[in-house]
Structure 1
Amino acid sequence: MRTARKGSVEMPAFVRQLVKETEKRVSSFFKGGRGGAAEGEHPAEGEREEVIPSPYLDRPVLDKLTEEGCTHWGLTYALGSMQGWRANMEDFHNCVPQLGGELVDWSFFAVFDGHAGNTVAQYCSQHLLGNLLTTGGMGPEDDPEKVKDSIIEGFLQTDKHLQTAARREGWERGGTTVVAALISPYYIYFSNCGDSRAMLCRSGQVCFSTTDHKPYSPLEKERIESAGGSVYLQRINGSLAVSRALGDFSYKGAENRTPSEQMVSPEPEVCVVERSPADEFLVLACDGVWDTITNDELCAFIHNRLQVCTDLRDVCSQVIDLCLYKGSLDNISIIVLCFPGAPQLSAEALNQEAELEDLLESKVAEIYEELCARGEEPDLLSVLTVLASSVIPGLPPGGGIQSKRNCIISAYYQQREIHKPTEPNELGGS
């Protein structure tokens, strides 16, 4: 099931200013960089510098794509995805709760974060799973080492087929990171290629997360330099911000080197975690999420939201809004998978949530009245600034005041309606 939800939030001035400053840096140093219109290469001496279109919009696209589903063995999932401040949407995803056949008890989920266009991300979202399955390493015996080898082979085959398609179709550039979870009856197989991330929460704590593949990481940097590249501005050749990805073939031309030894490696890091009755939920998300929130914060926030939300899509939407309000300028995509041991609705938590929202509404009204009494303009940013400096008990753990921004904005506009000047009547009176 898919639905599109629209937002109508006017962004605060400080966020708009942040975008402008970030745009200047990106355009100046990275020439579009990751997710922009170009790969970040500097013009040759004497050449006229190309004008690069801004990778950011004047206002964010707040429409959300949501999706939900479940399996026969008790897993529920939801996806939330939003374009945000980026000029283009380059994220894709896979949600396959049941693989079918002898793998009917297996599930596959993945997030693809494209850069320098969305073509590669879209291609991989359509072909990666099929290539994984054709390796033949997955079956009822559920052999972890065999499955790991199959996953790696599936990624390498996808990159090989992708290169053939790129030559045939004339794709000049572009790539995608991938983070995926293959769930069997006994294990969770995490595959990561790039800087998207997966996280597993067990008994209320983060028990596993994947490692981001950045060019400046020691082992990644060593491979890049061995393949003839360099790392500066924390990027490969000052341009690409990830060290593993599918696609990006301009970084994969080193002779006498295997695909996994190129500057950009298509080989995923595969980790196997044995399933436990204490498993609560699993998160797959692009770096538009992780740029603004830590593993522990997101674990705590989702754990809390599951106790007050009846719709898992709403949990995803709240995470997206939280990241947006914390300053994420990227596309934002997240998949949340809940196991049978996930937190359930709690009457106590629902009461606390209602009390918190009542408190915030009264605080907004109090601040609005105070600003009016001082003759100051009670604009939204002023109200938010005063509220942010106040002590507010009961805020969602991991989310803070930003996680209740929509509630605050709603209360603000309610106050504006209450204080709206009386319109003159037809006789000209007040």
Structure 2
Amino acid sequence: MAAFVRQLASQVERLISRLFKGEGGEGPDAFLEAPRTEKLLERGEGGGLRYGVGAMQGWRAAMEDAHAAQPQLPGGLAAWAFFAVYDGHAGPTVARFCARHLLGEVVAGEAFAGEPEAPEAVKEAVRQGFLRIDRRMQGLARTEGWEPAGSTAVAVLVSPRHLYFINLGDSRALLCRAGRWAFSTEDHKPSRPRERERIENAGGSVTLQRLNGSLAVSRALGDFGYKAVAWRGPTEQLVSPEPEVHALARCPAEDEFLLLACDGVWDAFDTKGLCAFARSRLLLSGDPLAVCEQVLDAGLHKGSRDNMTCVVVCFPAAPGVSQPALQRERELDAYLERRVAELYGELQEEGAASLVAIFRCLASEVNPSLPPGGGLASKRAVVTEAYERLRRSGEAQASGSRASGAPC
């Protein structure tokens, strides 16, 4: 029963987050009548890493995400890499500024000046970099009249010996090691006990899982309206710009890939499910960019109403193309095409053949061959194409019958 209650609470929170996000509620104008599915795509490699980035505006009226991807840092940090996703709310200004300038603030610390690498010093340098850029933006927001925007941030700083997971807000990063989920960041939600305590100490409240009933996250860059108490330090405000940083020792023989994504992706996937889905897609192509594209498509079809950005970073031990996996995928596609044809015929007799009806029937069936974590939504293109072929064929036959004078 306790597990059921937790799951129900999670679903309610996810529904609320889909309805409105950021500062205050959002009316119908915040969403489009149809999603924008064009993708911003980027791929690159360096320092033994391969990466792909995919971003989609989706149902949102504007694209507020930004990202950074540097497989090799400049100068004396050529053996280091940095990847980040910034999820803006109430405007894109803060997210875009961070994508251009946050890394520079982070590596300005003495921890990056030489060897040996000291994880605790690196973690503190990251923390100080976030605090510095937030102060810098606060000044710019006043002098340049910025919109009252904010942004979450999730990043991974890759050194020769460690992975530094950096999280601020509700975007998330995970590590796949030895074929399974090994680590992921934890979202900064106002309902977390430590976050709630800080919010209440600062004079705020948590209502409907949101800060003052409005903001869905308790830590973010920007959001300066929530950082206005002059006699409180930056980490004691209603919204804190202080990230959580975790250092994990690298395991070159087992580390397969990193995945970073904004909450628009996590609205549709749970952490272990997305890890399994991404790995299953890597086995088909070995291409991190192709995986990003499939994550975005599946996320949209699984119900995400938000902007989506996904970054996949492959280490040398990442899985490559697997012939058995390709064969299983071909067999699954063939099965779905046959099943669509069967259902189309059955529903046609009832006068109820439609793509929605076919999806509803398929969703009611147990099919363990579907991609883990992605489910039927990740095979929407296969089902849709099979249905459209049958529909066009039926229309052509009907048109031919009418042209020949045969009864319909």
TM-score (norm 2): 0.91
Letter in 1 for 2:343: I
- Determine if the alignment matches structure 1 residue 278 to structure 2 residue 246: no
Q: Is residue 85 from structure 1 mapped to residue 69 from structure 2 by the alignment?
A: no
SS of the residue 2:341 aligns to: helix
Among 111, 115, 124, which residue is 2:98 paired with? 124
For structure 1, the 5+ residue unaligned runs are: 1-21, 27-31, 42-50
Distance 1:311 1:411 in 2: 26
Question: What CA distance in whole angstroms lies between the structure 1 residues aligned with 2:368 and 2:190?
Answer: 41
**Higher alpha-carbon deviation: 109-118 or 363-372:** 363-372
Of 215, 235, 238 in structure 1, the residue corresponding to residue 190 of structure 2 is 215
State the shift of 1:304 in Å: 1.0
Deviation, 1:425, is: 9.9
Q: Which amino acid aligns with 1:413?
A: E
Partner of 2:263: 287
How far apart, in 2, do the equivalents of 1:140 and 1:363 lie?
61
> Which of 336, 339, 346 is the matching residue for 2:312?
336
C-alpha RMSD over aligned residues:
2.0
Q: Pick closer, same or farther for the CA change 1:425–1:395 going to 2, 3 Å.
A: closer
| Superposed CA offset, 1:218-254 (max 9, x none) | 0001001111111112111111111000000010012
Q: Give the whole-Å Cα distance in 1 for the aligned partners of 2:99 and 2:346.
A: 53
3-state secondary structure, aligned to 2:110: coil
Q: Which runs of 4+ in 1 moved over 2 A?
A: 22-26, 51-54, 390-393, 421-430
Letter in 1 for 2:110: G
- Equivalent position of 1:136 in the other structure: 110
Per-residue CA distance 1:131-183 (angstroms, 9 max, x = gap): 11222321442211111111001101100110111011112411000000000
**Structure 1 pair 234/416, CA: closer, same or farther in 2 (3 Å)?**
same
Correspondence for 1:113 among 87, 101, 104: 87
> Against the structure 1 CA distance between its residues 121 and 429, is the aligned structure 2 distance closer, same or farther, given a 3 Å change threshold?
same
Residues 79-131 of structure 1, C-alpha deviation per residue, up to 9 Å, x if partnerless? 11101111111000000111021110100000000000111111111110111
Q: Distance in 2 between matches of 1:425 and 1:322?
A: 39
Q: Any residues of structure 2 matched to 1:127-276 within 5 Å, and which?
A: 127-138=101-112, 139-276=114-251
CA contact (8 A) 1:204 1:299 kept: no
CA gap of 1:23–1:215, structure 2 versus 1, over 3 A, is: closer
Equivalent position amino acid for 1:198 in 2: A
2: CA distance between counterparts of 1:162 and 1:320? 31
Does residue 378 of structure 2 align to residue 403 of structure 1? yes
Shift of 1:75: 1.2
Could you state the TM-score of these two structures normalised by the residue count of structure 1?
A: 0.86
- Specify whether residues 153 and 318 from structure 1 end up closer, same or farther in structure 2 by C-alpha distance, changes over 3 A only: same
In 2, the alpha carbon distance for the partners of 1:300 and 1:349 equals 13
Match of 2:278 in 1: 302
Other-structure match for 2:4: none
Q: Deviations over 1:382-407 (max 9, x none)?
A: 11111112233421122211111111
Instruction: Sort the Cα spacing of 1:86 and 1:425 in 2 relative to 1 into closer, same or farther, 3 A.
Output: same
Residue in structure 1 matched with residue 12 of structure 2 by the alignment: none
> What SS does the corresponding residue of 1:211 show, helix, strand or coil?
coil
Picking from 50, 58, 70, the partner of 2:33 is: 58
Aligned-residue offset at 1:427: 8.1
How many pairs does the alignment contain?
389
Report the equivalent of 2:301.
325
Pair 419,141 (structure 1): closer, same or farther in 2 beyond 3 Å: same
Is the aligned partner of 1:348 residue 2:332? Answer: no
How far, CA to CA, are the matches of 1:413 and 1:136 in structure 2? 60
**Residue type at the aligned position of 1:360:** L
**1:40 alignment partner in structure 2:** 24
Matched, 1:373 2:349: yes
- Structure 2 segments unaligned to the other structure (5+ residues): 1-14
Letter in 2 for 1:40: G
Kindly indicate which of the two structures has a greater share of residues assigned to helix. 2
**Alpha-carbon separation, structure 1, partners of 2:327 and 2:42:** 28
**Secondary structure of the residue that 1:328 maps to in structure 2?**
coil
SS in structure 1 at match of 2:62: coil
